[in-house]
């Protein structure tokens, strides 16, 4: 019985870093009032990485028009004009809390500007895994 418990604990300890890494490699859209949405690579229909201009890289995204992708992001975050949203990637703040002045349709394409070109490339690589 003890050997089973030790085996389970060992498996949990071995898998723990993989779970932590997965959480680090996600973009989260956060609303000050309506919660958050984690963008999974499977939701990305098209993605492009724009060249660095004035130290800023851009990721251009079109999301899948499904209930768990574009519709959920729109309903939770991007349809609420007049509220603050932020975008985070792991511990990095991509967009600090910013007032959403217009609705954004995630199926029409939108741009995320990132001041760190290496971070932009990393995010692009993570999100383009399924597209």
- How many angstroms separate the CA atoms of 78 and 80, rounded? 6
Residue 23 pLDDT greater than 70, yes or no: no
The reply to whether 75 falls in a domain is yes
Q: Could you tell me if residue 109 is inside a domain?
A: yes
Provide the 3-class DSSP secondary structure of residue 48: strand
18 within a domain of the structure (yes/no): no
**Residue 101: pLDDT above 80?**
yes
pLDDT of residue 15: 34
State the CATH number of the domain containing residue 50: 3.30.1360.200
Which residue would you say has higher pLDDT here, 113 or 51?
Answer: 113
Contact partners, residue 124, CB within 8 Å, separation at least 6: 47, 49, 59
Overall pTM surpassing 0.85 (yes/no): no
pLDDT band at 25 (very low <50, low <70, confident <90, very high): confident
Give the number of domains in the chain: 1
What domain range includes position 123?
Answer: 26-127
Mean pLDDT of the 112-119 span? 94
**Residue 16 falls inside a structural domain:** no
């Amino acid at each position: 019985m003890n050997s089973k418990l030790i085996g389970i604990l060992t498996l949990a300890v071995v898998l723990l870093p993989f779970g932590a890494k997965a959480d680090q490699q996600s973009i989260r859209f956060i609303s000050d009032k309506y919660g958050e949405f984690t963008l999974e690579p499977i939701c990305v229909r098209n993605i492009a990485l724009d060249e660095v201009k004035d130290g800023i890289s851009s990721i251009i995204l079109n999301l899948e028009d499904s209930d768990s992708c574009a519709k959920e992001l729109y309903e939770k975050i991007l349809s609420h004009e007049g509220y603050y949203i932020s975008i985070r990637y792991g511990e990095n703040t991509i967009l600090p809390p910013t007032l959403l002045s217009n609705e954004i349709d995630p199926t029409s394409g939108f741009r995320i500007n990132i001041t760190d070109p290496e971070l932009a490339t990393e995010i692009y690589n993570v999100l383009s895994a399924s597209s």
